[in-house]
């Protein structure tokens, strides 16, 4: 998902939350547009943060996968070397 889509989606959710809040309070929905902008901004920032967190998590997972792969290759090489030694001793 792109950064812009993430921010806009979270901002729309913030607007919906604000409208829902005013609806529960039975207040005029268009009374204070600054509150709408504030809610959209806060939720939009949360969307930006979530996007950045997701990107960083992807990098960390890729690094960890590479470490695991390297570790497995070393274990395979050690096992093969041990098998060669054991085979040579058996002869």
d(CA 46, CA 53): 10
Q: Is the pTM of this model over 0.95?
A: no
Dump pLDDT digits (tens) for 21-57.
Answer: 999 999 998 888 999 999 999 999 999 999 999 999 9
The range of the structural domain enclosing residue 44 comes to 3-90
pLDDT at 85: 86
Cα–Cα distance, 86 to 41 (Å, whole number): 67
Name the domain count of the chain.
1
């Amino acid at each position: 998902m792109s950064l812009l889509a993430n921010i806009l989606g979270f901002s729309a959710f913030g607007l919906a939350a604000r409208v829902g809040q005013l609806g529960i309070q039975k207040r005029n929905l268009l009374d204070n547009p600054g509150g709408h902008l504030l809610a959209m901004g806060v939720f939009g920032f949360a969307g930006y943060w979530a996007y950045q967190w997701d990107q960083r998590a992807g990098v960390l997972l890729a690094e960890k996968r590479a470490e695991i792969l390297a570790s497995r290759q070393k274990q395979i090489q050690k096992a093969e070397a041990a098998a060669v030694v054991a085979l040579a001793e058996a002869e």
